Amino acid sequence: MESYLIRIYRRDPKHPEAIAGTVGKVGAEETRAFMNLNELGKIIIGKKKQEGEKDAYQKKAKD
């Protein structure tokens, strides 16, 4: 089983699908940004981005 850390930065109670944040596997160096529930789902199931879609990778800051 995989574990993920999901951080929600922005959400709209009137539009629950409008949610923004980052997600990363626990223990991994990389996180990915998402702008809606559809993108979050694609990241978790491992679906690759289509050509022309933006991708937002971030490295965790090391102490």
The first and second tokens of residue 18, run together, are 């409008």
pLDDT at 51: 52
The residue segments making up the domain with residue 12 are: 4-59
Check residues 17 and 22 and name the one with the higher pLDDT: 22
The domain total for the chain is: 1
Contact residues for 12 (Cβ-Cβ < 8 A; gap 6+): 18, 19
Residue 17 pLDDT greater than 60, yes or no: yes
- Cβ–Cβ contacts within 10 Å for residue 15, how many? 9
Assign 20 a pLDDT band (cuts: 50, 70, 90). very high
